[in-house]
Structure 1
Amino acid sequence: MHEGSCLCGAVRFRVEGELPSPNACHCSKCRKHSGHCFVSTEVAKNALTVEGGEHVTWYRSAEKVRRGFCSACGSSLFFDPPHRDWIAIAMGAFDGPTGTRMNLHIFVADKGDYYDIADGLPQNAQ
């Protein structure tokens, strides 16, 4: 089991089972939502338990996706395509070690010009 929270602790969550390798999304929407690239892991929705869900505000950033953040402290927490059986959780919100290693960079064609990606991981333009 892996646990995490927002910055102020109003939203806490648990994920049952192992966490899949995270990806870093460099699209402009993820950068605006998180302040940089959004590194997240995709878990089955039925593996996620959220406490303090009344403090999660959902913003529909595209027709098929919404983003969840804490309404008290503003922490970016979730990327949720409601039509899918998975939800992405921000890696920075997990407490303690996750036992994972980043897997891939996506939407690198849209990345900011202020940084380079030089970690040797695969990079997908889209």
Structure 2
Amino acid sequence: MKGRCECGAVAFEVDHVRDTVTVCHCSQCRRSSGHLWASTHAPFGSLHFTADAGLRWYASSDMAKRGFCALCGSSLFYRMNDEDGIGIAAGCLEDTTGLRIGKHIFVADKGAYYPMPDDAPVHEQG
């Protein structure tokens, strides 16, 4: 499976991703993505960069960091510091066939301007 940022300065291939997408409504994800964060997951070792000139990492907390493109601003990755896996933005994947929303998390923090869009499981916290 392939993915990239808007400008192509970060591009990657990943051997296999989880078939579910987690939608996070927390305030950090809403600020960093501009709305909400929707990501699938893969082992970090299965992610292979074919372009990384724009890749930058931001320590968004003591526990995690976010990967983005410094050239176009695309929000691409979320990685817990002590975890082998990596969250990959579903929107940056070229082919999302077979992916489905698995759950919504941190809905207690969601924006007041939108309703919950589907019937996927909802968790007030993570």
Q: Deviations over 1:87-109 (max 9, x none)?
A: 00000000133321110000000
Q: Does 1:54 align with 2:53?
A: yes
RMSD: 1.1
Return closer, same or farther for 1:51/1:25 CA change in 2, 3 Å cut-off.
Answer: same
Structure 2 partner of 1:25:
24
CA distance in 2, matches of 1:105, 1:33: 17
Q: Secondary structure at the match of 2:98?
A: coil
Work out the percentage of aligned pairs sharing the same amino acid. 43
CA apart distance, 1:47 = 1.0
Q: Does 1:89 align with 2:94?
A: no
Does the 8 Å contact 2:19/2:99 carry over to 1?
yes
Which AA in structure 1 matches 2:94?
D
Count of aligned residue pairs for this structure pair:
125
Structure with the higher strand share, 1 or 2: 2
Q: Displaced runs of 4+ in structure 1, greater than 4 A?
A: none
Normalising by structure 2, what TM-score?
0.94
Normalising by structure 1, what TM-score?
0.94
